[in-house]
Structure 1
Amino acid sequence: HLKRVTLHEKENLMNAENLGIVFGPTLMRSPERDAMAALNDIRYQRLVVELLIKNEDILF
């Protein structure tokens, strides 16, 4: 579904990076209770979700 959202990014402004920002922390919640550690993880969570969306045809 997220890949289909990116197909309409000109209308909805939701590209793979933006979707990664929104869904990364939700899908890959850090077990760390420390706020600073969680903030540091957001960058990598975003990147993983972005790569999953961009490469869904290869991965799935």
Structure 2
Amino acid sequence: MQAVDVQDYARRLMEAHGDKAVAEAAQKARALEEKGKHEDAQPWRRIEAALKEMLGPHQS
């Protein structure tokens, strides 16, 4: 998955799931990793990272 595709998918996931988008991506990655499909989980980890970047730093 190309970087531009990761960003696009992250944006669409954020639009669909809002604040829960990061958890959704992490859950998909974790499920694949638990099945031993680490290579398939990599795009989801990249999407998760892109989502976190989109949200910016947490403010207290």
TM-score, length-scaled by structure 1: 0.36
**Higher fraction of helix:** 2
Greater Rg over alpha carbons, structure: 1
TM-score, length-scaled by structure 2: 0.36
